[in-house]
Structures are given as C-alpha cells and as structure tokens.
Amino acid sequence: MMTLRIDRELVAELKARARKQNRSTSAEVVHILRNSLHAGRAKTCSKVQTPSMGMFAQFEAPSEQVLLDATESIRQSIAASIQASASTLTDRGRARRTKR
C-alpha cells in the first residue's frame, strides 16, 4: 500500500478516466502505472491482468498486441474478400460484353 499526493485536477482527470474504463480510480492508477512500466519492454502476446467488473469478472483481458494482431488479420481478410468480389464483378462484366 502506498499514499500519494496528487493535485485535485489530476485526481479529477483520473476519476473521469476510470469511469470511462469501468474501473475504480485505484485500479485505473495501477493500470496506467503498469502500462507505463511495461511500455519500454518488448510487447508479447501474453494476456495482461486487467480488472474486470460484472459478468466478465472471471475472464482475463487479452493484451493490446493480441487485439492489434486480430484487427490486422480481420482487415486483411476483408480487403482480400473485397478484392476477390471486385475481380469477379469485373470478369462478369467482360463476359457480358463479349456475348453481345
């Protein structure tokens, strides 16, 4: 346990940020400190312990890198699908023009 002296403006900002993240102010401070301390280290795909509330309390949150990797994978999949659809439509258009 530790006691900190923090000015009122910063405390208000921390409380507002904690509310947005559905965390207690204390949990938000720990989260910020943990992320700051780990920022210099290489990112890994291991799960990060972050406090959850309500019906999701028993689940572990994935790390930011895991979410970024999943987002990139989905983006690439959608881009490939759009490209394939565009190619199919172009081929159909050519086939119709040659039939005429």
Residue-level pLDDT at 45: 47
Report the range of poorest mean pLDDT among 1-10, 23-32, 48-57, 90-99. 48-57
Q: Give the residues across from 61 on adjacent strands.
A: 48
Residue 78 has pLDDT above 50, yes or no: yes
pTM over 0.95: no
**Does 23 or 92 have the greater pLDDT score?**
23
Residue 17 has pLDDT above 50, yes or no: yes
Residue-level pLDDT at 46: 53
Q: Give the residues across from 48 on adjacent strands.
A: 61
| pLDDT digits 0-9 by tens, 26-48 | 888 888 888 888 876 655 545 55
| Average pLDDT score over residue span 66-88 | 88
